[in-house]
Amino acid sequence: MFDAIVVGARCAGAPTAMLLARAGYRVLLLDKAPAGTDTLSTHLIHQPGVAALARWGLLDQVRATGCPPLENVVYEIADVHLEGCARGVEGQRAGYAPRRHVLDGILADAAAEAGVEVRDRSQVTGLLRDATGRVVGVEGRRQQQPFTERAHLVIGADGMRSTVARLAGAPFTVTDRRMTCAYYAYYEDVPAELELYEAPGSWTAAVPTNDKLTLVLAYFPQALFEQVRTDARHHYLEQVRATAPALFARLDGREPVERLRGTGDQQNFFRQAAGPGWALVGDAGHHKDSITARGISDAFLQVESLVRHVAGRLGGDPAQLDAALADFGAERDATLTPGYEATLGVAQLEPHDQRMSLLRAVQTDSELTSIYFDMVAGIGSASALYTPRLLALL
């Protein structure tokens, strides 16, 4: 009997398991993929997520992989050029963008070191329930062998198409239409900082990552997905050239070192966060367009919130655990809704006059620029930007 079974061993599931084990619980961590595999990702960990890694004692391991700190941000749209750095959180001003097989491996190893039992190649096919309907474990297959395991809490950290969410019957509480599609590739020895370029109908970014590689992303309106996918390479390069010509020139005819990746399935939703004997963290419970790259940092915040709420309640009175899970869900929704709404605004790919006027004022002042990059990182809200200094410039 485990205290918790966590399904999904990536950037939501592995730290959940790790923190529960560090709190003294017996935890099983399952993932259907072999250890060390990659996954679709923007890679970016904003400063709140970096601060979480520092709290967990894992930031130095990320740095040791050679992943460069992102200490300067460049953002361009029309005649606006912003350059600087966020004020940060808990002393962390730099972001990082590690490859996912690197980051996820560090997190899974940390879970194992904390005492978690980690099983890869393990696919969950069902949830066990008691006579009241409460979830009390999982069933599945590992390398063609069936298994069942029981626990006081089953946690789905298995992504946007979560099996645990489906099996638990977790309803969507908020849904919005898909707004963008995205393609990206890795280029070797392309000098770049964290660079963001925006134009009507387009968003392009460059993000340095491990092994001296630079990730170059291009976003399109969702309505163009069927057209773009017919010749994705052509449309991708043209979008980079049109939106970020200086970045395109740095590519200088280079070929990507890996295949072009992309998706048109950028869902926007909140699911019910928890129920009797189960909970969801990361993309399983809440997903938004990747254009603001907040998924990893938001997952880390959810992880800490869930562990904080259930600590001391696993293995005790189920009613107390259920109340704690409900509190976790309320906190998750209140914390992540502003960023969700801001992301939907960016994903419209339609910069409006009021926003352009604000950005033109911000670019004249380095302090306002830092506050704006705090907003981009999810550290502060838009209200923090409306200082007397900004109002005097508008």
pLDDT digits (tens, 9 = 90+) for 290-333: 999 999 999 999 999 999 999 999 999 999 999 999 999 999 99
Cβ-contact 179, 263 below 8 angstroms: no
Q: Look-up: residue for tokens 């979830």? A: 135
Q: Residue ranges of the alpha helices (H) in the chain?
A: 13-22, 47-55, 59-64, 100-113, 163-168, 225-230, 232-243, 245-251, 295-310, 318-347, 353-362, 366-377, 388-393
| pLDDT for the residue 375 | 94
For the question of whether the overall pTM of this predicted structure is more than 0.85, the answer is: yes
Tell me what percent of the residues of the chain surpass a pLDDT of 90.
93
Q: What is the pLDDT of residue 332?
A: 98
Q: Which whole-number Å values give the CA distances from 201 to 77, 180, 204, 205, 356, in the listed order?
A: 12, 9, 11, 14, 15
Mean pLDDT of the chain: 96
With cut-offs at 50, 70 and 90, classify the pLDDT of residue 265: very high
Q: How far apart are CA 216 and CA 207, in angstroms?
A: 7
Task: Retrieve residue 57's tokens.
Answer: 């004692």
For residue 392, the model assigns a pLDDT of 76
Domains and CATH numbers, the chain: 2-43+99-176+266-347 (3.50.50.60), 180-263 (3.30.9.100)
Q: What's the rounded mean pLDDT across residues 127-139?
A: 98
Q: Is the pLDDT of residue 380 over 90?
A: no
How far apart CA 277 and CA 325 sit, in angstroms, is: 9
Q: Which residue type, as a one-letter code, is found at position 352?
A: H
Residue 227 clears pLDDT 90, i.e. is over it: yes
pLDDT for position 389: 78
**Digit-coded pLDDT (tens) for 14-50:** 999 999 999 999 999 999 999 889 999 999 999 999 9
- Residue 39, both tokens: 């996954």
What per-residue confidence (pLDDT) applies to 385?
Answer: 83
| E-assigned strand segments in 54-191 | 73-77, 80-84, 117-119, 122-129, 135-142, 145-156, 172-176, 180-188
